[in-house]
Structure 1
């Protein structure tokens, strides 16, 4: 596996430079080729209107991720529009659901018919796979704040797929090493049988066994399943000293089953798909359990602004902030790429997304939409470092710098960050 080096940038703490992994990813499908545009030597010729929609989970097994992601998008839309820098974002929210309830089958065609140039989503890699080709055929950018499947790196997306979340090649490596560093030698893994679950499972297993440990039991299930007794029995029969749970909100059912079968929750390891401030929503104590979640530690008032925007729209205060920064940055990067290209089509923006993220290496660092827009409108090249990290897209549309947070649960079943890698 790759060796990662640390770097800091802008508002973030503890970014991981994706060393050898990014070299592999560069061989993937093109996602940010350059082209000559009217704005390379001057600002936009006219005020632009950018129509985007979201395909984020309001229902289904990832619904707990919906509020922070939707809040991130809405805050960015508000702040781009308030900046009045030559572009207005016209935003339409929509539900992705999950691969079981298939709410995206209604949302995606509706957004396509309304003429959006980009869709923010989906959260689940398996859901994005089900509509990505349709958007590519329509010339629409699919920009996910949370897809982590390595499969997207080499997808034939015509440069129209981008993500601010890092590939699970990163999270899997951090998690596999964390379990080993904590002294565990024989682990069990329960994972969801989809693009997300199988991809992350494979990396965790490879990395953990590379440290000298052994995966002594493993069990999968399908999204939509409601009974997990067989999976729990399989895992517990092997007497593992730790259990990795690569699930969505099925964790709320699986965790009590494991504890009742004799497992100690302090030896559970969670992932981004199920790391949540559960409180009383899980009937057993999770004290001591750990989990990983991509994203840096934020150092300004982002969470405060996020909550103010979200609650002002009549929503309850956020309980989790998973992928809110990645969602915010997706909108900002789209708006900046439209300004830089002088157009709002998927092709226009895809020609400049790598550039405005700093992937071309010749831009001026900036840390807000307004600051970056001023650079572009003045005829310069902007390099946006956002709340999710420096981003720095490669040609496959993947971020090449990212942070993975390590979190631990307290007695109240709420988690706190204990480390960033």
Structure 2
């Protein structure tokens, strides 16, 4: 890879031409995915959009993603400078509130600005709503946190998803982790309450299937609306209480598949409710939720709220955490923020290589191809850096192909990692407190 970068530098020096400016869509049909970058200064500014939730039900993750990408931007620009490459990335952050309609509006706005590469969005429902626009306008996105299986967000073939990457495993993996922890804790009966969007329905279906395979009895499946979420949870609370009535609380549990709204649900449960005498399980949609701690910590601590999320660790992540804390952002980035950091690196390097290969033109098909190739090279350390979330290998759907899952619970200290589900063995390593 060192030879490739030396060749890039040589080409620029020989030609004496450096590319800069923004991109603009031109032509139609086969030419719609190619744009020309105007030569004007000595530095090419690569515009990258960021679609994240800064004020909605996934804002705990979304704000963390924005902070971590600021570090990523600085690291990448320093890398380009040290390598003598005439590129600089600039981020354009948009708040989608995890709302599919707002997300589409933001994508259209970014496209109008000539932005072709996007990190995000946060949720699968958003990906589902923007996929047709992304494909028809030959844009490329890399989501750090959309986990619904491809079929649940409207894809039937990998070719339909060639511009849409996800650097996180799908819920087919998470479902096995959830089923594994529930079985491991001796639970026999489960009632599921889930968010009625593409993500919630996809994870619910996959998890229920895996729970049944593990011999766990499903005593209820309750769907609630996602746009908007309920403000009064009393009907759902009553239904949940009815479902667990007469069951042994030691072997009965509630599985809540949702976002920050689960905090409101818990806060509205009466302190004497039988729902607070059984264990609760969650998912990646609620892990590290600040709202759970601020609105329902005591109740969440009582029921555990054992929640799963992709888990990747590395020495690189520790270094990033040091910079994160140094900037006053907190102790360390959340998992999806770490994935977004990796996505930005691969996206930026691939975009720069695309511009070099095309003489400064945007080519969506080439960018898509390079992202897939460079993900492997990035994993192997061929650029002199390695992923902060461990090895990244993509399947034919451009989704991460594997991964362990951390199990987080609410304790007296707040959210805490209490176990790790190993995807290779299907077993859980419970951590000492």
- TM-score, with normalisation over the residues of structure 1? 0.78
Whether contact under 8 Å (1:354, 1:395) holds in the other structure is no
Match of 1:282 among 290, 296, 301: 296
Which residue pairs with 1:141 in the alignment? 140
Which residue pairs with 2:372 in the alignment? 354
1:347 deviation in Å? 2.7
Distance, in Å, in 1 between the alignment partners of 2:74 and 2:340 is 13
Distance, in Å, in 2 between the alignment partners of 1:199 and 1:55 is 22
Structure label with greater radius of gyration: 2
Whether contact under 8 Å (2:324, 2:332) holds in the other structure is no
Whether contact under 8 Å (1:389, 1:401) holds in the other structure is no
Which residue pairs with 1:419 in the alignment? 420
Match of 1:62 among 58, 63, 88: 58
Which residue pairs with 2:195 in the alignment? 192
Whether contact under 8 Å (1:265, 1:285) holds in the other structure is no
Distance, in Å, in 1 between the alignment partners of 2:136 and 2:164 is 12
Any idea what SS the aligned residue of 1:179 has? helix
Is 2:181 the counterpart of 1:178? yes
Indicate how the Cα distance of structure 1 residues 252 and 320 shifts in structure 2: closer, same or farther if over 3 A, else same.
Answer: farther
Whether contact under 8 Å (2:308, 2:407) holds in the other structure is yes
Which residue pairs with 2:407 in the alignment? 406
Aligned residues: 361
Any idea what SS the aligned residue of 1:143 has? strand
Distance, in Å, in 2 between the alignment partners of 1:157 and 1:77 is 30
Whether contact under 8 Å (1:168, 1:203) holds in the other structure is yes
Indicate how the Cα distance of structure 1 residues 234 and 285 shifts in structure 2: closer, same or farther if over 3 A, else same.
Answer: closer
Which residue pairs with 1:20 in the alignment? none
Which residue pairs with 1:331 in the alignment? 344
- Bigger drift between 65-74 and 177-186 goes to 65-74
**Structural RMSD (CA):** 2.6
Distance, in Å, in 2 between the alignment partners of 1:180 and 1:398 is 27
Distance, in Å, in 1 between the alignment partners of 2:72 and 2:337 is 10
Distance, in Å, in 2 between the alignment partners of 1:122 and 1:318 is 24
Match of 1:263 among 258, 261, 275: 275
Which digits, 9 at most, give the CA deviation of each residue in 1:60-112, with x for residues without a partner?
22122111111222221110001123232121111111237x43244222211
Whether contact under 8 Å (1:120, 1:327) holds in the other structure is yes
Q: How does 1:105-116 map to 2 (within 5 A)?
A: 105-116=104-115
Distance, in Å, in 2 between the alignment partners of 1:104 and 1:230 is 30
Indicate how the Cα distance of structure 1 residues 154 and 43 shifts in structure 2: closer, same or farther if over 3 A, else same.
Answer: farther
Structure 2: segments with no counterpart, 5+ residues: 13-17, 19-43, 423-433
Distance, in Å, in 2 between the alignment partners of 1:265 and 1:116 is 51
Any idea what SS the aligned residue of 1:180 has? helix
Which digits, 9 at most, give the CA deviation of each residue in 1:156-197, with x for residues without a partner?
546110011110000111101110111000011110001000
Any idea what SS the aligned residue of 1:55 has? strand
Which residue pairs with 2:122 in the alignment? 123
Indicate how the Cα distance of structure 1 residues 217 and 250 shifts in structure 2: closer, same or farther if over 3 A, else same.
Answer: same
Which is bigger in relative contact order (C-alpha 8 A, separation at least 6)? 1
Is 2:291 the counterpart of 1:273? no
Distance, in Å, in 2 between the alignment partners of 1:394 and 1:373 is 22
Structure 1: segments with no counterpart, 5+ residues: 1-37, 375-383
Is 2:383 the counterpart of 1:373? yes
Distance, in Å, in 1 between the alignment partners of 2:203 and 2:191 is 14
Distance, in Å, in 2 between the alignment partners of 1:210 and 1:281 is 35
Whether contact under 8 Å (1:58, 1:95) holds in the other structure is yes
Which digits, 9 at most, give the CA deviation of each residue in 1:228-267, with x for residues without a partner?
2222222221216101110111111112344642223761
Any idea what SS the aligned residue of 2:285 has? coil
Distance, in Å, in 2 between the alignment partners of 1:255 and 1:320 is 26
Distance, in Å, in 2 between the alignment partners of 1:236 and 1:60 is 28
Whether contact under 8 Å (1:255, 1:284) holds in the other structure is no
Indicate how the Cα distance of structure 1 residues 88 and 364 shifts in structure 2: closer, same or farther if over 3 A, else same.
Answer: closer
Which residue pairs with 2:241 in the alignment? 236
1:348 deviation in Å? 2.7
Is 2:332 the counterpart of 1:302? no
- Bigger drift between 135-144 and 338-347 goes to 338-347
Any idea what SS the aligned residue of 2:299 has? coil
Which residue pairs with 2:265 in the alignment? 254
Indicate how the Cα distance of structure 1 residues 121 and 176 shifts in structure 2: closer, same or farther if over 3 A, else same.
Answer: same
1:410 deviation in Å? 0.9
